[in-house]
Amino acid sequence: MLIAYSCDTQRLQAISPPPDDTALRAAVWIDLVSPTPEEAATVATATGFTVPTEASASEIEASSRLATLNGILYLSMPLILRSADGPRGVPAGFVLSPKQLLTVRFAPSTVFDAFAGHAPRGEDAHPGSAHVLIGLLEAIVDRQADALEQVAHELDAVSHRIFAMGVRQQGGRKREDATLRITLGQLGRLGDLISHVRDTLVGAGRIGPYVESAAASWLPKDLPPRLKTLQQDIASLNDFDTHLNDKLQFLLDATMGFINIAQNNVMKVMTIASVVGIPPVLVAGIYGMNFKSIPEYDWSFGYAYGLGLILLTTLIPLAIFRWRKWI
């Protein structure tokens, strides 16, 4: 999908589709969403830009994500796509010139769509391509802050649920096992989200200083302060991300601890059952031998004696375990 925006007022205005070459040359922002080869070729012909591909935007080296060619900045960073299967990273490419901004994303993004309907920050009534890029970065960082706040609330709920298991009954072993399985899945999903948020923040944090230095000769004077504020926001979010990651690891260790306790309880029951069962089996084995000289065979109360001995050898180990507070 190809969308082009002009900026004759303080709000971005979408150019009626399909934009022709003249409209594309006049656009301040061109947005490609999962572009077809024909759309990419049309934009490349109209602007002279090299349109990033999904493979090139997915590169992880800093030299591949941040480059300048003929005075044009080629940038890329990962975004987050949240679906029913969990969060995953999708690449996004940015091509910035003094007059135009080209964005290429390979999945829908509510951040981009929402930004297009709002006025850019600042007092400039006719913002240019750099204003749009910085505004997009600010919107992306704001969305990551919202995501981290949501993660913090969910971790608090998980923490309450996990440690409540240690102070009250949860309705049986099966219910506790189900709760622990659900908790592990939720922690894994939150861990993935935290990891993707960190990747996005790192990408945005690299783009800001690079744009400020590479475009210093034509960057509007009102943007460097916004870039510094953006870097401060990213730094604070990185600290918060680290805190959440530490808390998640703590909760994961606590969950695994409860699972180990449950497994140890099962092993303890099996061990006690095996130890308690040994003496009765030994008594039954002795009186099960077919020897004529066993005197108890001739007793009139020999059967009751044998049963009583079996019962006694069962109760004595249980009493010892109870006395030692092993059960």
Assess whether 74 and 111 both reside in one domain: yes
User: Which of 262, 281, 305 is a domain's end point?
Assistant: 262
Q: pLDDT band for 96, please (50, 70, 90 cuts).
A: very high
**3-state SS class at 309:** helix
Three-class DSSP labels, 92-157: EEEEECCCCEEEEECCCCHHHHHHHCCCCCCCCCCCCHHHHHHHHHHHHHHHHHHHHHHHHHHHHH
Assess whether 257 and 278 both reside in one domain: no
How many separate domains does the chain show? 2
Q: Tell me the whole-structure pTM to 2 decimals.
A: 0.77
Work out the number of other CB atoms within 10 angstroms of the CB of residue 322: 10
Assess whether 255 and 278 both reside in one domain: no
User: What are the structure tokens assigned to 19, written together?
Assistant: 């934009």
The DSSP element (H or E) to which 87 belongs, if any, is: strand 86-96
Q: Which amino acid makes up residue 121?
A: R
Whole-number pLDDT of residue 124: 46
Residues linked to residue 32 through DSSP beta bridges, in sequence order: 2, 104
More confident residue, 86 or 89: 89
- Residues 30, 43: contact at Cβ < 8 Å? yes
Assess whether 195 and 276 both reside in one domain: no
DSSP for 194-226 reads HHHHHHHHHHHHHHHHHHHHHTTTTS-TTHHHH
User: Which of 238, 262, 286 is a domain's end point?
Assistant: 262
- Residues 142, 200: contact at Cβ < 8 Å? no
User: Which of 262, 283, 312 is a domain's end point?
Assistant: 262
Name every residue whose Cβ is closer than 8 Å to that of residue 16 and which is 6 or more positions away in sequence. Answer: none
Assess whether 11 and 141 both reside in one domain: yes
pLDDT tens-digit series, residues 240-278: 999 999 999 999 988 888 888 777 877 888 888 888 888
Assess whether 233 and 296 both reside in one domain: no
For residue 257, give the CATH number of its domain: 3.30.460.20
Assess whether 130 and 112 both reside in one domain: yes
Whose tokens are 């065979």? That residue is: 297
Whole-number pLDDT of residue 167: 57
- Residues 29, 12: contact at Cβ < 8 Å? yes
Q: Which domain holds residue 295?
A: 267-323
Whole-number pLDDT of residue 109: 83
Assess whether 95 and 210 both reside in one domain: yes
Assess whether 247 and 271 both reside in one domain: no
Work out the number of other CB atoms within 10 angstroms of the CB of residue 181: 12
Burial 267-281 (b: 16+ CB within 10 A, else e): eeeeeeeeebeebbe
User: What are the structure tokens assigned to 258, written together?
Assistant: 């409860």
Angle between helices 223-286 and 302-323 (to 10 degrees): 150
Assess whether 58 and 180 both reside in one domain: yes
Assess whether 33 and 88 both reside in one domain: yes
Closest by CA position to 204, among listed 231, 226, 229, 237: 231
Name every residue whose Cβ is closer than 8 Å to that of residue 1 and which is 6 or more positions away in sequence. Answer: 32, 33, 34, 35, 39
Assess whether 177 and 65 both reside in one domain: yes
* Least confident interval from 12-16, 213-217, 285-289: 12-16
